[in-house]
Amino acid sequence: MGGGISVFDNITKDDLIMAFFPCIYFSAISQMSMSFGATNYRKLSIKEKTDKILERSANRELFFRICVKMISVAMQKKIRLIMENPWSEQTFLKANFVMPPSLVDMDRTKRGDVYKKPTAYWFVGCEPTHGKSFQRPKTQVKTIMSSRGSSVAGVCSEERSMISPDYARNFICDFILGKEQEQFGKQLSLF
């Protein structure tokens, strides 16, 4: 967009970009970090709280600008792109994004993930297919609040950010390839 060399220069219409955009600035929990009353700021002075809030706001603006540019470039160059981000009650993208998501998976555990968390997907230059690869998670279902925390305030843990291999495969077959998987055959649902 700036006229210089871009990562998009060598990407063709035959390629597909999967963008897992950093949710730490767009999530509902991030909204709470924009307040003087945020738990993480309880031991800070007003000046320190102000600096943290303004830093977080500037970072969110930076990532939002990059996100909008990425979507715009994909649209202009007719590149296929799928962007993922959390989708809950008060996410920043839910309230402020330039387009609604193409699909929202309200319960990823139905496709084998260990986390039951709503996730939005924006399909640009392509449309989601709709398959039925329903599968129970192989381990105990976790919630965001029960996952390990991060050592850095305001940043989610790696554990919480991961997508299970089963969910990744089922998502790709169901929403990108439109491919029925042999083990799921005529099965409608496990739930």
Predicted confidence band of residue 134 (pLDDT cuts 50, 70, 90): confident
pLDDT of residue 6: 79
What is this structure's pTM? 0.80
Q: Region 26-54: what's the mean pLDDT?
A: 89
pLDDT of residue 158: 60
In terms of Cα–Cα distance, which of 117, 166, 120 is closest to 142?
A: 117
pLDDT of residue 72: 93
Q: Region 121-132: what's the mean pLDDT?
A: 92
- Write out the H or E segment, with its range, that includes residue 18: strand 16-20
In terms of Cα–Cα distance, which of 89, 130, 135 is closest to 109?
A: 135
Mean pLDDT of the chain: 82
Least confident range from 5-14, 43-52, 163-172, 182-191: namely 182-191
92-102 residue pLDDT tens? 888 888 889 99
pLDDT of residue 142: 66
Instruction: Say which residues have a Cβ less than 8 Å from residue 176's Cβ, sequence separation at least 6.
Output: 16, 82, 126, 128, 129
What DSSP string runs through 72-96? HHHHHHT-EEEEEEE-STT-HHHHH
